[in-house]
Each structure stands twice: as structure tokens, then as C-alpha cells.
Amino acid sequence: HFKLINDQFGHPAGDKVIADFSARIKCTCRPYDLVGRYGGEEFVAILPGTSPQDARAIAQRIRLTTQFTGPDLPQYTVSIGVCCASQVGLHDMISHADKALYRAKQDGRNRVCSEPIFVVEDQVVSKHSTPLGTPFNSLTTISTTMQT
């Protein structure tokens, strides 16, 4: 639905929304987290050493930052997918975060969904259990997209 921002308000407004969200997500994340635009209106945040609970809390804070925009910006919201994993490649983590992101969109947008996957010795461990050391050896990927 981000396309609606460009269609309704023009591409300069869409660019302002992307810049605004970029500033909001950077202010919400920690100094050592990596945040970048992943294409179009999608962003990825890599949160080293973050537990699944903390990752969801950070994602929720990011989502809530967009609840109030200034008068010079169209109102927008974000949908966020979160993936916490250990011993999984970044590409796979982003893929799982994207799955959670699409679920957030399907469930009504403006929400956070997670896809925690833990892999130990090539076996997937229950989505609700954490292998020893995961909070220190994990990366959390947050995939976001904006909509009106």
C-alpha cells in the first residue's frame, strides 16, 4: 500500500516518508544494530545478541513511532516481521522475517509478527524453546514495510 502514498501525495511525499521512517527506526534501535533500506519501502534491522522477546519489543517500539507524524507528512503505519535465529545464514533469516512480515500484512497490517527459528546441528528446535547461548550468539532480523 506504500504505492498509494506516492499515487495520492506524489513521489516527493513518498521520499519524505521513507526518510522519516529511516530516522525513526535508527533512533529506536541501539547504536550497534545495523539498519538499512532493503529496497522500495522495505527496511531490515539486524539486532545482534537479542532475545526473541527483546526483538519483538524493539519491533513494537519501531511500529509505535509511526503512530503520529508531523503535519507535512501523510499518516503511515508499518508492518514488521521478526526472525530470531542462531547458526542460520543472513539470507535465511531475512527470508523468515519476510514470511512473518507477509503474515503481519495478511492479519491486518500495522502489527508485528514473528518467525523465531532456532537451528542447532542442522535441526530445527521448537519455535518456543531457545538453545543454550542463543541470546548471545543470535541475530535478529526485522523486516518492515510501510503503508497508508
Pairwise CA distance, residues 135 & 93, whole Å: 15
Residue 42: how many other CB atoms lie within 10 Å:
16
Which of 41, 42, 115, 121 does the annotation list as catalytic? 41
> 121 an active-site residue?
no
List Cα–Cα distances, 17 to 26, 37, 69, in angstroms: 14, 13, 9
First to last CA, the chain: 6
Only one residue has cell 516481521, namely 81
Residue by residue, DSSP assigns 88-115 as --HHHHHHHHHHHHHHHHHTTSSSEEE-
Which positions are annotated as active-site residues? Answer: 41
